[in-house]
Amino acid sequence: MVLAAGAAAPDFALSDQYGSETVLSDLLRDGPVALVFVPFAFSRICTSEFAELSAHVDLFAERSVQLVGITVDSVWTLRAWAEQEGFSFPILSDFWPHGEVARAYGALDERTGAAARATVVVGRDGRVAASFASGAGEARPLAAYREAVSALPRA
């Protein structure tokens, strides 16, 4: 079960698609963060979800929310995927220890070893402001992101 609103968001350090370390607590100094977990790079639904988010980055920018993708794929896979698709936000590799961050957020499908399609919006205070998920094979609607981002206090 994905962490619910009010829960403390576990801190983590993961490498982005360029191999640079990204630490949640460092990101939170600049404002809220939307953590978008997806099962696999290059898969049809994951690619379409990230393409839609890339096309609507203003939805996040309006509330100073940093958009961050997370998958269990390797850094090299994520770099190839981001470059091929032109994704404009960081995508973090939860490859090793395999799925550790997704597990901490209640977003790891233990059956498949992949992250579930789950989104966790973390407020600047390090607490979950909103979270939602979709079933296997189902994309999350953009309206769910709008609702989650609107749960954040205005800056």
The catalytic residue positions are 46
In SS3 terms, 91-144 reads as EEECCCCCCHHHHHCCCEECCCCEECCEEEEECCCCEEEEEEECCCCCCCCHHH
- How far from 76 is each of 19, 34, 113, CA to CA, in Å? 8, 23, 19
Query: CB neighbours of 79 closer than 8 A, spacing ≥ 6?
Result: 17, 18
**Letter for the amino acid at 45?**
I
Beta bridge partners of 34: 67, 121
Backbone phi and psi for residue 59, each to the nearest 5 degrees, phi listed first: -55, -40
Distance CA 119, CA 68 (A): 10
